[in-house]
Amino acid sequence: MMKIGKFEINKDSPVFIIAELSANHNGSLETAIATIRAAKRAGADCIKLQTYTADTITIDSRLDDFRIGGTIWDGQYLHDLYQEAYTPWEWHAELFRVAEEEGLICFSSPFDPTAVEFLENLNVPAYKIASFEITDIPLIELVASKGKPVIISTGIATEEDIRLALDACARQKNNQIALLKCTSSYPAPIGEANMVMIKDFTERFDVIAGLSDHTIGSTVPVVATVFGAKIIEKHFILDRSVGGPDASFSMNESEFAEMVKSVREAEKSIGIVDYSLTDKQLKGKDFSRSLYVVEDINAGDVISTSNVRSIRPGFGLHPMYYDQILGKVASQDLKKGSRMSLDKIN
């Protein structure tokens, strides 16, 4: 179990839904604030930031190692991308204030120790480790040492990477850990979502499991919910036409609201293992099959397939007796449409 602000997250709790702001402010504080307010309207429980600068996450180098390939950001250099995408640190206090005003939890992903200390001064209620930082064991140890819930994305992680990250948290005696299944493609193909991993995370690592999703649409979050996800994170944007590094795989307000609705409905549909029937289901048995007289039978007549059949409704004798009564003799006159019963045969 973990607690983030007023939200307790455990195997029986509702899904904790995070709207990821990321770079979707497009360099405007006003847009960032409006996005937080829209996330609240759309049904999010939380708004999440990313806390870095271009210089805390990489260096300004034009060597080939620092040029991006194989993504929607092909050809850009890391420093240029992060310079465009980062959320100015001087905005954070105001964004936290707006989130609190809206009744949203707000926390962030730090990308280096200076970001952790900065966020500590803002009294964040939790931390997120981004997928590409799961191998940064010193960063994870520092975050875990703060004694707050740690949510870890696993987009590039092998099983060994995950165990090393969990061991880092354990060394700091922090067991408030969640693992998010993530596919680090932007956008991510649905065919690579592999939602069965959510159930495996829960069983294999004994942690809360969830989803950090980069697919298009609500299908994967709904499937994740059915597989036991207790946290769902999705990139959120006011309007994709504004543009920005993450716009193409982010949900707008109406799409996010529809996802929230679908997730909440999926939660309700899961239910529990229970073979008992509700009153409505019991009433439905009226329409099941049972044995009825389908043509008049005189006392002494033989019960046959032509005068007794399994039909609707379900008020007669259970069909499991059908073979047993065939060839028996009627003990009384039986009218067409009457219920068959064992006391009417010899």
Helix, coil or strand: residue 146: coil
Report residue 246's pLDDT band, with 50, 70 and 90 as the boundaries: confident
Query: How many angstroms separate the CA atoms of 202 and 3, rounded?
Result: 17
pTM assigned to the model: 0.88
Predicted local confidence at residue 40, as pLDDT: 98
Predicted local confidence at residue 73, as pLDDT: 86
Mean pLDDT (the chain, rounded): 96
Centre a 10 Å sphere on the Cβ of residue 152 and count the other Cβ atoms it contains: 28
**Chain segment 297-312, per-residue pLDDT in tens:** 999 999 999 999 999 9
Predicted local confidence at residue 71, as pLDDT: 85
User: By C-alpha distance, which of 269, 340, 272, 276 is closest to 303?
Assistant: 340
- The alpha carbon torsion through 324, 326, 332, 336 (nearest 10 deg) reads 120
Residues of the chain with CATH 3.90.1210.10: 279-344
Query: Which is it for the CA torsion 81, 144, 15, 47, positive or negative?
Result: negative
Query: How many angstroms separate the CA atoms of 206 and 269, rounded?
Result: 24
For the residues 245-257, what does the mean pLDDT come to?
A: 93
What superfamily does domain 2-270 belong to in CATH?
Aldolase class I (3.20.20.70)
Query: How many angstroms separate the CA atoms of 227 and 197, rounded?
Result: 9
Predicted local confidence at residue 72, as pLDDT: 82
For the residues 267-284, what does the mean pLDDT come to?
A: 91
| 272 pLDDT higher than 90 | no
**Chain segment 58-116, per-residue pLDDT in tens:** 999 999 999 998 888 889 999 999 999 999 999 999 999 999 999 999 999 999 999 99
| 248 pLDDT higher than 90 | no
Report residue 230's pLDDT band, with 50, 70 and 90 as the boundaries: very high
Predicted local confidence at residue 243, as pLDDT: 81
Predicted local confidence at residue 110, as pLDDT: 98
Predicted local confidence at residue 8, as pLDDT: 97
Residues of the chain with CATH 3.20.20.70: 2-270
**Chain segment 12-69, per-residue pLDDT in tens:** 999 999 999 999 999 999 999 999 999 999 999 999 999 999 999 999 999 999 999 8
Q: Which fold has domain 279-344?
A: Type Iii Antifreeze Protein Isoform Hplc 12 (3.90.1210)
Count CA within 13 A, CB hemisphere, residue 109.
27
User: 187 preceded by cis ω (within 30°)?
Assistant: yes
Answer for the pair 43, 256: CB distance below 8 angstroms, yes or no: yes
For the residues 246-258, what does the mean pLDDT come to?
A: 94
| 241 pLDDT higher than 90 | no
Angle in degrees, CA 24, 233, 229, rounded to 5? 170
Helix, coil or strand: residue 329: strand
